[in-house]
Every structure is written in structure tokens, then in C-alpha cells.
Amino acid sequence: MTKSDPLTAFFNPHGVAVIGATTDPTKLGYGLARNLVQSNFQGVVHFVNPKGGRLLGQPLYQAISQVPDPVDLAIVLIPAAFVPEALHDCGKRGIRAVIIGSGGFRETGEQGAKLEAECLEIAKSHQMRLIGPNCIGILDTHLPINATFLPPPGPPPGEVAFVSHSGAICAAVIDWARGQGFGMSRLVSLGNQTDVNETDVLGPVLADPFTRVLTLYLEGVSDGRRFVHQASRLAEEKPIIALKVGRFSSGQRAVASHTGVLAGQESAFDAAFLRAGVIRANTSEEMFDWARALAWCPLPKGRNVAVLTNAGGPGVTAADALEMENMHLSKLKAETIEELSDILPPAASLVNPVDMLASATPEQYARCLNILLADSEVDSVMVILPPPPMFTAGAVAKALIPVIHHAEKPVILALMGERLIQEAVEHFRAARVAEYRFPERAASALAVLARRAEHLSRGEKSGKVPIQVDLKFNTRKESILSSLDKLQPGENLSLETVNDLLAAYGIPVAETILAGTVQQALAAARKIGYPVVLKIASPDIPHKSEFGGVVLDVRDETSLVKGFEELVSRINILRPDARVLGVHIQPLVLTGQEVILGAVKDPQFGPLVMFGAGGVEVEGLQDVAFGLAPISEEEAGFILGKTWAGRRLEGYRNLKPADRQAAIKALCSLAQLAADLPQLEEIEINPLRILEQGKGVLAVDARARMTAF
């Protein structure tokens, strides 16, 4: 964002004109005018209304053309039908940034959508940027400016910015934030996003020096790949937390693979947020819980937590909550335990969680916290404070705050209670110390600090190397591409073509021979060697096992002849409409661990790659994880680690460790293939056999489908 960029005027205007300002206190135009004046905005505010007069001690100009300089931002709050004319007038006046707060556009139906499209065309003709329509506006508590029509008071100044697709959510968040004791830096309501969208404002909002954390309320994204590109760059500097809503509303597409079934809209967002370094929250409360911790706390060096409490029950609750968040109780050093024993009664528990007993004084809280923070085995501390029986919670807070402020490790408070802890709540909030009502929320906040630290560490270790993997087609490139071009949209590829694709990208495939007759099948089996597997060859049957289209463990010619004839007969009865090309003969592969690899094109984010537990029950198990293709080996390893199938590759009980590195390379290769070939809608290897360490992988079965235009 530069000084010549129209977006500059949205966030740092010199003069603001309100088109639709009114003296009627029941109208939104009055509320907007009032907020601008009362926000102590240091620029100039102009009011426009055809009736003229005066408002809040200032003149009401009858037209925007009459408004004197400076004016670089206009806010329009008039009936939708008159907005196009107002935009023309703003353009002629030289205004290049306009917020349309008016409703009555796309959200109302076809006519409203046409009106909104007209507004966009007018804006483009004047090189004008629009926020809205159907939005609440923007505010900045530090500039300050309140260019919304929301009822006062606005939020107190703070470090958390909020960008929202919903105006109503903005109003609720402002009121809730004030009640929760944390302030906001900037707020942007985007409305219908006819022009300026969530990606456009990421940079300008995070460029604000007062903003330490950006929170997003998203109903979708306008350009998935652009969002990822922008967010991944900006998230290295400041944390971004997103609440993506509508996770269960999308219908399931008709797809030919397990990957396509499992790769719903939310899997795509998970993969995109992972790539971008955006932290995904599940609830509004969780998003702002995390935002406070990230804004106010230093980051930990690890996941080891010490718990300090004055009661045993809350300590056990905290231990459970931390384990659920994949955090770990620190093993305290002997000298730490000795120091604690010098200041606590004999009955106190000195094994983490540290229970000081109900008699703990404010001084003991502070001294014990200092001791725990000095332990090199402790990365962060959770302090639990139910109402002390002999002292006030406020007195404990006063004793703890100086220790927390001087600490280089994060300290999160779990204040348990309501009325008896209010004094402590006020002290902690005034001191910018993150506090939560129960240990579960405190544990969640500590976990997000660890996640943020790990994300930054991964970025440093990777050296910001390009994600793309340098893989090339082999000498069959032209013939493979030629065969793809001849296929119809939505058509399934032959197994031979899929195998050629996989082999071209360095993924080993099981030897496969197509037999149109029994005699050809016998010759193929002799070449491959028994035992073999028979699979029906039909582009119309992607899931062969569902129709009995697979015969396993064929060990001799008699069994092969019988299996071949029964297989073809069964398919002709169950799927008489299917094109049957013959039977594929493959060697029987029983060694190695069975997984699934897949890739599918997402309409917003492009190709996604999947790894997980393979076989016929993949949809039932749903032990899968996704990434945005292409991926690096480091990201592939992270994806494997999110699934049980991936973790099991390192060995489990009687299972020997498998060739995990070969699995990672295969996943990277498939991701690259999907990224290179946009004409592919989906491709899947199920199963991929991960052999013993050093022996690689083997694709046993695969399928792919062309994009349906």
C-alpha cells in the first residue's frame, strides 16, 4: 500500500465526506456522523444531504461537488437506487476511496445484483476502490477514526485487529471485547465485497504498528491462491487467526475417488491455512482467546508447562487439559523442587502441578512463579487462581503482575470463579496479562503460543526455499499429454495412462498387463509370475471392489481361467452398461504398509494432495490429511505426522519401520503432478505400499479423471 494507492484513504484519510448524513437521530446517517465527530478524528469531516442545513454544528452540503478540500474518503448511506449516481459524483470530485454502507444489493436478489455490478463498473471507470456495499464501515482506535454507524461506545484501543464478512458480528465483537477487557486496533467490515476483499486488506491492516494480531471472520475467500500468497508472507511478521464459518453447509460433489469425497471445502481451507501459516479457530471465543495470548505473551521455546495452583483439583484439570492440547507437564529439576520446599509447607505437592495449598499467600504465588520460570525445563507456566480463602484474588494479582512482566516465558492465568475474582480480573486486564476462567481455556491459549513458535521455527529452518519440487517428465511426456488431450471432459483415464503418469513422476508402479482374452491373461501371468491379481479393466468402474471386480491370490493357471471368466461374467451382470476392456494382471503384493495418496482440484485453492490410511475403508476411517499442491518435503512430513497411517510408518508393535522418506517423496511427486496438469480433476493411488526402510514404495492401484468443463 503506497501513498498513491486508493486503499491508503480507507485507513488514513485526510478528509471524510458522509453522503447521507442526516439530522434525524433514528437514521444510520446520523449515527455515522455522530461517531466520526465523537471519535476525535484529526482530519476534516464533511456532511452531505440535498436538504442542506446544519448537523452537529457543521454545514450540510447539498452535493459532494460543494465539499471543500481535503476529502479523499466518502461514505455512502443512501437508498441503493441512488448509489450509482453518488459514485459518479464522487469520481468527478476526485475521490478514489468509497465505503458503501447502504444495503439493498446482491443480498436482496437479482435486481440488487445488477445494481451492485453497475456500481462496480462506475468505480472502475473512475479508478475508484469500494468497500461494501452492505457493510458497517471501518474504525481505527489509534488514529483515531470511527467510520461506522454502530452505537457507542466503541472498543477501547488495543492490539487486536478484526476483519469481517459480517457486519452484525462486528457489532457483537466490539461490545464483547469491551466486556472481556481487551482492546481493538482496527476493524474492517467488508460486506458484499464487490471490490475490496479480505485479501486486499491483509497488508494495510497488518501494516498498522499498533496491530499485533489479525483476526478474520470469513465466509469464504475471493481468490484462494492469492489469499494464501499474501497471508503466508504477512503471517511471518504477525499472527493471523481465522474463523471460517459455513463448514457443514456445502453439498458433496459427485466424484470418482475417495480423495474427491473426503476433500470437501473445509479440507481445502485447512490445507490453505496450513500453507499460509494462518491459525484456524473453531469458535469466536477461541479466536479471541488466542488473540489475547498472542498479543500479550512472549512465545515459548517448547511445549513443557509448569502448573502453579493453590488447590489439587484444578491442577489435575489443568494436567488433563494440557495433554488434550498436546502440551506436556514439565519435569522439574531437583534444585527447583528444593527451592519450592524452602518456602512452602510440608504438605504442599512439589511435583508438577505444584499445589501450594489453600493457605498460599500472594508472596508465595510470586516467589513460586519466579522459581518455576527459572527452571530450564519449563517453557511456559499456567497459574491457577481460585478465590483464596485467606487473601483476596486482587492481592495475588498485584504480586504476580511484576513477575509476569519481567518474564521471558509466557504465563497464562486461569482465574476460577466470578464475583470473588473480579478485582484480580481488572488488575490483569489493565496490565495486559492473559487470563481465562478455567484451565481448559488457559491450556488452549498456551497451545496456540507453542503452535505459533513452531510455525516460525519451521520457516527459519526451511530457509524460505521454494515449495515447488523439481521433477520432470520422462521421455514419454509428449505421448502422455497427447493421450490426455484426446479424452473427453469428466472421463476416467485408463490404468495404463495413470501408471505412465506416476512413473513419469518417479512413483514406482506394480507391473500391469491388460489381457483381453483368457489366453492373453495366461501369457501375462507366466511373464509376471504367480501369484497374481486379476482386476476388471473398465473406465466406467473406478471402484472395482464395489462390484466384485478384483480376484486376489491367483496361484495357478486353472484358478486364473476360472477367475477370469467369473470376473467378466459378474461385471456383465452387475454393470451391463460398463465398457469392459478386459482384465488387468498384476503381481500379488502383500508386503509393506498400505496407505492412500490422492490429489483433487479445489475450485478456490487449486489442487490439494491427500495422504492417509488406505484400502476399501478409507472413507469410513477418515484418517487423512491434506496439503496445498505442490508441497515441499518438510510439508509432506508434517502432513504424514497428522495421520495415524503416517505415524505408524516409524514402526508400531510388530510392524517394522517402513520407508517413510520414500513415502514423503511419493507424496511430493503426486502433488507436483497435480499442480503441473490442470486438466486432471483428481488422481488417486490406493493402495500405495510403503515397503521396508530403504526399499521404497509401490503403487498397486490407481485411478484418475479428467476435469469436467
Over range 651-679, report the average pLDDT.
91
Q: How many domains does the chain have?
A: 4
486 in a structural domain = no
pLDDT reported for residue 182: 85
- Same structural domain, 314 and 434: yes
> How does residue 678 score in pLDDT terms, banded at 50, 70 and 90?
confident
User: Residue 542 has what pLDDT?
Assistant: 79
- 569 with 618, same domain? no
Any idea what the CATH number is for the domain that residue 605 is in? 3.30.470.20
pLDDT band of residue 256 (cuts 50, 70, 90) is: very low
Secondary structure (3-state) at 55? strand
pLDDT digits (tens, 9 = 90+) for 166-180: 888 898 888 888 888
CA angle 553, 554, 557 (to 5 degrees): 165
Cα 610–Cα 613–Cα 615 angle in degrees, nearest 5: 105
Write down the pLDDT at residue 664.
96
Its domain, for residue 573, covers 511-587
Task: Average the pLDDT over each of 98-107, 290-299, 455-464 and give the range with the smallest value.
Answer: 455-464
- Of 429, 462, 495, the residue that ends a domain is 462
Asked, for residue 278, whether it belongs to a domain, the answer is no
Instruction: Please compute the mean of the pLDDT values over residues 381-408 and round it to a whole number.
Output: 96
The whole-angstrom separation of Cα 239 and Cα 450 is 12
Tell me how far apart the alpha carbons of residues 660 and 602 are, in angstroms, rounded to a whole number: 27
Q: Are 579 and 598 within one domain?
A: no
Residues 622 and 680 in one domain: yes
Alpha-helix runs per DSSP H in 474-581: 477-485, 495-504, 518-528, 557-574
Q: Which three cell numbers stand for residue 232?
A: 503466508
Query: Quick one: 576 and 598 in the same domain?
Result: no
Percent of the chain topping pLDDT 70: 92
Residue 410 contacts by C-beta under 8 Å, 6 or more apart in sequence? 293, 297, 298, 299, 300, 380, 381, 446, 449
pLDDT at position 476 is 59
- Tell me whether residue 79 is in a domain: yes
Torsion sign, CA atoms 640, 644, 648, 650: positive
Residues 82 and 158 in one domain: yes
Q: What is the mean pLDDT of the chain?
A: 90
Domain for residue 426, yes or no?
Answer: yes
Residue 1's pLDDT band (boundaries 50, 70, 90)? Answer: very low
Q: How many angstroms from the chain centroid is the CA of residue 592?
A: 33
Residues 433 and 305 in one domain: yes
Q: Both 128 and 198 in a single domain?
A: yes
Domain final residue, candidates 189, 211, 233: 211
Cβ burial, residue 517 (10 Å; 0-12/13-18/19+): exposed
Instruction: Calculate mean pLDDT across residues 326-347.
Output: 97
Are residues 526 and 616 both part of a single domain?
A: no
Confidence of residue 603 (pLDDT cuts 50, 70, 90): confident
pLDDT(546) > 90: no
Identify the pLDDT of residue 473: 53
**pLDDT tens string 4-62:** 577 989 999 999 999 999 999 999 999 999 999 999 999 999 999 999 999 999 999 99
Angstrom CA distances, 9 to 3, 70, 122, stand at 9, 11, 19
List, for residues 618-641, the tens digit of each pLDDT value.
Answer: 666 788 999 999 999 988 998 999
Burial zone of 694 (CB within 10 Å; 0-12 exposed, 13-18 middle, 19+ buried)? exposed
For residue 465, pLDDT over 80 is answered with no
The reply to whether 650 and 565 lie within a common domain is no
Residue 470 has pLDDT above 70, yes or no: no
Which pLDDT band holds residue 541 (cuts at 50, 70, 90)? confident
Question: 627 and 574, same structural domain?
Answer: no
For residue 253, the model assigns a pLDDT of 42
Q: 134 is written with which cell numbers?
A: 452492505
Please indicate, yes or no, if residue 572 is contained in any of the structural domains: yes
- Residue 181: per-residue pLDDT: 81
Last residue of a domain, one of 211, 233, 268: 211
Q: Do 319 and 271 touch, CB atoms closer than 8 A?
A: no
DSSP string across 239-254: -EEEEE--TT-SPPP-
Alpha-carbon distance 381 to 308, whole Å? 7
Lowest mean pLDDT among 3-12, 205-214, 373-382: 3-12
Please give the Cα distance from 416 to 426 (Å, whole number): 14
CA 260/CA 667 separation, integer angstroms: 16
What is the tens place of the pLDDT at every residue in 219-250? 889 889 999 999 999 999 999 999 998 765 44
Instruction: State the chain's maximal CA–CA distance in angstroms.
Output: 101
Q: What is the CATH number of the domain that holds 521?
A: 3.30.1490.20
Whether residue 670 is contained in a domain is answered as yes
606, part of any domain:
yes
Q: Are 601 and 583 members of one domain?
A: no
Report the alpha-carbon distance of residue 380 to residue 373 in Å, rounded. Answer: 7
Q: What are 204's three cell numbers?
A: 494495510
- Domain assignment present for residue 236? The answer is no
Q: Which pLDDT tens digit goes with each residue over 263-308?
A: 556 888 999 998 999 999 999 999 999 999 999 999 999 999 999 9
